[in-house]
Amino acid sequence: MAKDCPAIAIDHLELYVGNAKQSAYVYQQQFGFALTAYRGLETDTTSPLRENRHTASYLLEQGDVRLVISGGLTPATPIGDWVKRHGDGVAVIAFQVEDAHEAYHLAVDRGAIPAVQPTTLDDGLGYFRYAAIQAYGDILLKFVERSPNTTAFAPGFRALSSLTGDMPPLRDHHPLFSQVDHVVANVEAGKMDYWTQFFRDVLGFELLVQFDDRTITTGQSALMSKVLQDPTGRIKLPINEPGQGHKTSQITEFLHYHQGPGVQHVALQTSDIIQTVHWLKTQGVRFLQPPPLYYETVEARVGAIAEDLEQLRTLGILVDRDRQGYLLQIFTEPLSDRPTLFFEIIQRNGAIGFGEGNFKALFTSIEREQEKRGNSYIN
Ligand code: FE2
């Protein structure tokens, strides 16, 4: 029988970065997020605990996607240490739960390493309860519970509409992204099964699908992947490990620059990928380009689709089909200097897969970028 899973949905993802103010601006400017709240020195002048004197956090929202961008203000902050080691990246995956206290104790009883004891904050408008356990690398899984009558994100955050003063919001029409589709981790060779078992045993997730290194190979390098999901299928967490190959796999390159396992990409769902990618490109977002011959075989492989293939080719959007339908997807270049975290933009027209038919094309594109970085062979 499946184990109880306390996670209801992804509540938010928290990124630790070197300069939160500038990163938040980029996610607004380039990716269309709305800055809705801020927590930092200015919001914590009266609290007796003065707990926010060491970090600054910006809450960015779009559809149901919530990113918290956090930076350290002094050299000794945990965020500063994290960023020094890993670079900018996703440090916390936060799950919405019914009872953070119970979720935490359930997970710890099932073998999770405790990271943050259950803590309740109450600013008089409603309570906010959280706790966290350790996941792969230095990534935390956080359980978040809010009192039913509150609409605020968390105590200490003050509403803020923009980082640009009087400038109007960048996107006041409908959001580009509706929700987080999946969050992918890269772990060390031989650790995929360990973390798969962890999510099954500790959090009650189920194995949705797996790909071995014969499926995911470019002929030069390979990787293996297992996809975990909560029993409702709302939360999907693929886990990759490097496979055997002649060249350094993209996973090994990630592990090298991230200094260990971590979040490789966050897939954001859109209902209109053509319009979304067009807008992102006008804002300067750079995407991986499919290999030149990719579109020659698309029609034969996926059959009829509603979108204009020529438009997809112009924008570099990939197409794949499974038994349930088809999907369209595209991948950004890394979001910071280190070749680590990137975004995937995905539109699902029925398909429930991850673009398996595109793996080879995608990884060939990544290998081309790796070659430009001189990282085809890392020892
Ligand atoms: Fe993906």
Per-residue burial over 51-60, b = 16 or more CB atoms within 10 Å of its CB, e = otherwise = ebebbbbbbb
pLDDT at 58: 95
Kind and range of the H or E run holding 78 = helix 78-86
Q: Is 69 exposed, middle or buried (0-12, 13-18, 19+ CB in 10 A)?
A: buried
In single-letter form, the type of residue at position 134 comes to Q
Confidence of residue 309 (pLDDT cuts 50, 70, 90): very high
Phi/psi-derived region of residue 57, left when phi > 0, alpha when psi is between -120 and 50, beta in every other case: beta
Other C-beta atoms within 10 Å of 338: how many? 17
- The CA 103 to ligand 1 mean position distance, Å, reads 27
pLDDT in tens, 110-148: 999 999 999 998 888 889 999 999 999 999 999 999 998
- The CA 91 to ligand 1 mean position distance, Å, reads 18
pLDDT at 149 over 60: yes
Weakest mean pLDDT among 64-73, 161-170, 314-323: 161-170
pLDDT in tens, 224-273: 999 999 999 999 999 999 988 877 888 999 999 999 999 999 999 999 99
pLDDT at 329: 97
- The CA 282 to ligand 1 mean position distance, Å, reads 23
pLDDT at 163: 59
- Positive or negative, the Cα torsion across 46, 47, 50, 52? negative
pLDDT at 172: 56
Q: 147-155 long-range CB contacts below 8 Å, 24 or more apart?
A: 150/125, 150/126, 152/37, 152/123, 152/125, 152/126, 152/128, 153/12, 153/36, 153/37, 153/59, 153/66, 154/39, 154/121, 154/128, 155/121, 155/122, 155/123, 155/125, 155/128
pLDDT at 114: 98
Mean of pLDDT values over 7-23: 97
pLDDT at 47 over 70: no
Q: Provide the residue ranges of all domains of the chain, joining segments of one domain with +.
A: 9-164, 179-373
pLDDT at 169: 53
Report DSSP state, residue 4: P
Confidence of residue 356 (pLDDT cuts 50, 70, 90): confident
| Domains 9-164 and 179-373 are alike in CATH topology | yes
Mean of pLDDT values over 146-160: 85
- Of 75, 132, 90, 136, nearest to 341 by C-alpha is 90
- The CA 186 to ligand 1 mean position distance, Å, reads 12
Sheet of 223-229, strand order: 206-211, 223-229, 236-242, 179-186, 262-269, 342-349, 325-331, 318-322
* Contact call for residues 7 and 97 (beta carbons, < 8 A): yes
- The CA 327 to ligand 1 mean position distance, Å, reads 12
Mean of pLDDT values over 333-339: 97
* Contact call for residues 161 and 167 (beta carbons, < 8 A): no
- The CA 170 to ligand 1 mean position distance, Å, reads 27
Mean of pLDDT values over 300-317: 94
pLDDT at 2 over 60: no
**For the chain, what is the radius of gyration of the CA atoms?**
21
Kind and range of the H or E run holding 36 = strand 34-39
- The CA 184 to ligand 1 mean position distance, Å, reads 7
Confidence of residue 173 (pLDDT cuts 50, 70, 90): low
- The CA 266 to ligand 1 mean position distance, Å, reads 7
- Residues with Cβ within 8 Å of 79's Cβ and at least 6 positions away in sequence, in order, are 16, 55, 70, 71, 72, 91
The fourth-level CATH superfamily of domain 179-373 is 2,3-Dihydroxybiphenyl 1,2-Dioxygenase, domain 1 (3.10.180.10)
- The CA 342 to ligand 1 mean position distance, Å, reads 10
User: By three-state DSSP, how is residue 349 classified?
Assistant: strand
* Contact call for residues 139 and 149 (beta carbons, < 8 A): no
Distance CA 244, CA 247 (A): 9
CATH topology of domain 9-164: 2,3-Dihydroxybiphenyl 1,2-Dioxygenase; domain 1 (3.10.180)
- The CA 225 to ligand 1 mean position distance, Å, reads 11
- The CA 95 to ligand 1 mean position distance, Å, reads 19
pLDDT at 49 over 70: no
Phi, psi of 170 (to 5 degrees): -65, -40
- The CA 356 to ligand 1 mean position distance, Å, reads 10
Distance CA 211, CA 111 (A): 27
Whole-model pTM: value is 0.94
Mean pLDDT over each residue of the chain, to the nearest integer: 91
- The CA 265 to ligand 1 mean position distance, Å, reads 7
Enumerate residues with CB within 5 Å of ligand 1 (an ion). Answer: 267, 344
